[in-house]
Copies of this chain bind each other. A is one copy, B any other.
Amino acid sequence: MPSFRQYFPILVWGRDYDKSALSNDLIAAVIVTIMLIPQSLAYALLAGLPPEAGIYASIAPILLYAVFGTSRALAVGPVAVVSLLTASAVGQVAEQGTAGYVVATLTLAFLSGSFLVLMGVLKLGFIANFLSHPVIAGFITASGILIATSQIKHILGIRAEGHTLPEMLYSIALRLGEVNWITLLIGASATGFLFWARKHLKQTLHGMGTPPLLADILNKAGPVAAVVTTTVVVWGFDLAEKGVKIVGEVPQGLPPLTMPGFAPDLIGALLVPAILISIIGFVESVSVAQTLAAKRRQRIDPDQELIGLGAANLGAAFTGGYPVTGGFARSVVNFDAGAETPAAGAFTAIGLALAAVALTPLVYYLPIATLAATIIVAVLSLVDLSILKKTWTYSHADFIAVAATILLTLGLGVEIGVASGVILSVVLHLYKTSRPHVAEVGLVPGTQHFRNIDRHNVQTDPRLVSLRVDESLYFVNARFLEDLIQKRVTEGCAIKHVVLMFSAVNMVDYSALESLEAINHRLKDMGVGLHLSEVKGPVMDRLQRSDFIDEMNGKIFLSQYEAWANLTAGAQQGAADTGQGDQLRCGA
């Protein structure tokens, strides 16, 4: 049953699972678990949720992805950008810290999961392609800046709000007088340490003669070290009494069974954000999965990935989590640590479940500022302004799309930013194809080849205009062709024939068909014949379903040379002499 197996990739890799794969997967799981504990707490904070939600969001989703996903190395769970989108979406329907907020995030995960599964079953993965690379790059960069800025208040120990950069900066500036200096000291030290660790810890450990595998594990444990140290300091010096915000009570135990809300109002309000989160999460996840798969000459199936990610989100919705996707950093770590199959993910889930059961009392004194530092260091690697320079050099239209996405995301928020980016890149694309390159061609003497008359020394005939259309014809550029031909033909009184050379036309939609009909009628009224040459098979098939070919005031030639030979020889007796005497007015 190949179609059954297609929906359960676990049946493929599970069959060949052996000891070597097991030990590789176990090692990867240990490394990833260590990395995920502080990260999960921190991202939950970013999403406006209690810290345990981050842990819960990493357990059931990973297990479900292991069953349904096709990537062998993708690690699913809370990620920074999706956490930010969650906070932004849910913040519009409920207050942070209320039960309504938690239910809304579950609903968001449920809607997102349902949408992903639906897209997967209907094989609609191509929808993700509407997000162009420049829009994604711009959006991720702007999100990184927004996220880092949103954490500054925790480092400073002040209250501040806002969903856009100006709002946040203004709100922080207003309260700079209330800075808690102890919090700032802890936060700044943690941030500094984590930046250093990210850049230099591995080298230092190597220099100290640490065995490579251990060095690797210790390196990933940088955030854990920061967490442990600052927790001990806050506990030892009783800094919570001095205004340092701490994580506090975190329930101890396995993820609870939870129920998303199904009130129509709530669903109505969260549907669009859920779709947005799904698509952004999917795009990120697929590009990570594809990159990692290629390194081992494996393949992922994007439509099945939708199902895998959808199942993960549905899992999150019913086990106290929130929207998840495949994370870049954790997946790369998983891959580098040698994970061979999704079983590595399952072992990670077990590790996190143990942590949820046993370790949560230990984070009581963990300062929020340390989690904020973890987030800042993680997201600043997302910020890549070089995309502005690269797109500027390559294509101004792409640059406009990136710049607009960044500015609008920072200035007006994540949802407006990404939506404007998508609309803008579609409009810019349509604009580019709205004025297709159309070359007037002539015969290269002594050959059967035709070339642009502006670039080559070619033979032409005043009775004949040959135009090579270098783009598919569809509604956005159909009228352009009408105008262009109208202009060209009214310029020359001697013109008796127009030949459209269709060698690069891959498609003619109904609007373009009507434009061709209009061109045909207008040329007929002027006593000029309209001919086509080198029409591709699929285009010809379609044209034959319409009346256009019957009504054509000219012929269809297999090759441009055939058109030339026929029309320059026989123009006197004129297949096109159907004018209505109006030629006298030509040029009037």
Contacts and interface: CB of A to CB of B under 8 A. Distances in A.
Interface of A: 126, 128-134, 286-287, 290-291, 293-299, 302, 390-391, 393-395, 397-398, 425-426, 429-437, 470-472, 474-480, 482-483, 486-487, 489-490, 504, 506-507, 509-511, 513-515, 518, 521-523, 525-526, 538, 542, 545-546, 582-583, 585-588
B474 A546 contact: no
A383 B538 CA distance: 32
A479 B525 CA distance: 46
A518 B291 CA distance: 8
Given A395-B510, A509-B397, A479 B129 contact: yes
A296 B588 contact: yes
A518 B294 CA distance: 10
This protein's copies in its complex: 2
Contacts of A293: 486
A299 B132 contact: no
Contact of A128 (B432, B479, B521): B479
Q: A-B pairs with the 9 shortest C-beta distances?
A: A294-B522, A132-B475, A398-B510, A133-B511, A132-B511, A133-B514, A297-B526, A295-B525, A129-B476
Contact of A295 (B394, B431, B582): B582
Given A477-B129, A506-B437, A297 B397 contact: no
Contacts of A290: 482-483, 486, 518, 522
A397 B474 CA distance: 12
B297 A582 contact: yes
Contacts of A129: 434, 475-480
A294 B483 contact: no
Contact of A126 (B435, B482, B521, B582): B435
B126 A478 contact: no
Contacts of A134: 475, 510-511
Most B Cβ at <10 Å: residue of A132, A295, A432, A475: A475
A230 to B, nearest CB: 39
Contacts of A507: 432-433
Most buried by B among A126, A435, A470: A126
Contacts of A391: 510
Contact of A487 (B299, B395, B426): B299
Contacts of A133: 475, 478, 510-511, 514-515
B299 A545 contact: no
A130 B425 contact: no
A425 B476 CA distance: 10
Given A291-B522, A394-B542, A394-B545, 11 more contacts: A126-B476, A129-B476, A132-B474, A133-B510, A291-B521, A294-B521, A297-B525, A297-B582, A398-B511, A432-B507, A432-B509
A546 B392 CA distance: 11
Contacts of A128: 479
Contacts of A480: 126, 129
A588 B13 CA distance: 10
